[in-house]
Amino acid sequence: MKIIAHRGASGYAPENTLSAFALAVKMGSKSFEFDVHLTRDKKLVVHHDYDLKRTAGNPAKISALDYAELKKINVGNKFGFPVERVPLLEEVLQLISHQAEWINFEVKNDGNVYPGIEAALLELVRSRPGLAGISLISSFDYGTLKRLRVLDNKIKLGYLGRHLRNLLLVPAIINARRIGAASFHIALRIAFGLNVALIHKAGLKVFVYTVNKKKDALRMQKIGVDGIFSNYPDILQK
């Protein structure tokens, strides 16, 4: 079972920052997840929310800022880290690439708020030798996944189920297969043996978010999920 550093080692360092990724690397992570957005001047950056409210106490939206403005904002005031910036996606890749064996780019693009983000991401992924083969692109936004598939018929896609309940699982699996997804990502809340078996039966790998307790991680291992997203890369050693 893969232990995927979720937003870097975000249980120990400010999420989605270079410090969080550097720490995950130091802790030995080989699998990484982070969230991708696009600035007003079309730079791919790594941050979870669409705005800076939660991470910086600043209501500005990423889509309304050029990168030069965005990088002035401190998003790292947590765990005693004084200053951290929203990193460029390229900086994150630079930091993790020598060790990464599996990288999940989660594209935040609800309602296509970042037109062109799919092509920009694919261009970056294809530009680094060997990167496309270890990449998996996921999104909660089905339109984004569909556009990615039209632009690239080989890249691995991950279907992210939002507010999924047991009853909605089968239609969601059908949608995931429709875009040729390689994996299906579910919340811990619905990660039970029967659901996992159903998804596996459809030929999809199962990745579960977000697993931050050792007892849950052990249960996931037992029911045979392929990987867990965790803020604690050392979750099984805790």
Active site residue 48: yes
Q: Residues 85-124 vs ligand G3P: string with x where CB under 6 A?
A: ---------------------x------------------
Which residue from 229, 230, 231, 235 is in contact with ligand G3P, where contact means CB under 6 A? 229
Give every CB contact of residue 203 below 8 A, 6+ residues apart in sequence: 177
Q: Is 106 in the site for Mg ion (CB under 5 A)?
A: yes
The nearest distance, CB 68 to ligand G3P, in angstroms, is 26
Give 227's contacts (C-beta < 8 A, 6+ positions apart): 1, 2, 3, 4, 31, 205, 206, 207, 208
CB of 150 to Mg ion, least distance (A): 23
Q: What is the CA 126 to chain-centroid distance, rounded? A: 18
Minimum Å gap between C-beta 2 and ligand G3P is 12
Specify the residue, 147 or 185, whose C-beta has the smaller distance to ligand G3P.
Answer: 185
Q: How many CA atoms lie less than 13 Å away from 196 in the CB half-sphere?
A: 19
Please spell the DSSP secondary structure of 140-203, one letter per residue: S-HHHHHHHHHH-SSSEEEEEPSS--GGGHHHHHHHHHHTT-SEEEEEGGG--HHHHHHHHHTT
Q: Which of 37, 47, 48, 200 is labelled catalytic?
A: 48
Which residue type occupies 182?
A: A
Interacting positions 134-173 with ligand G3P (CB under 6 A): 138, 160
Taking the least distance from each CB to ligand G3P, the nearer of 144 and 210 is 210
The binder of 209, among Mg ion, ligand G3P, none, by C-beta within 5 to 8 A per type, is ligand G3P
- Provide the binding-site residues for Mg ion, judged by CB under 5 A: 35, 106
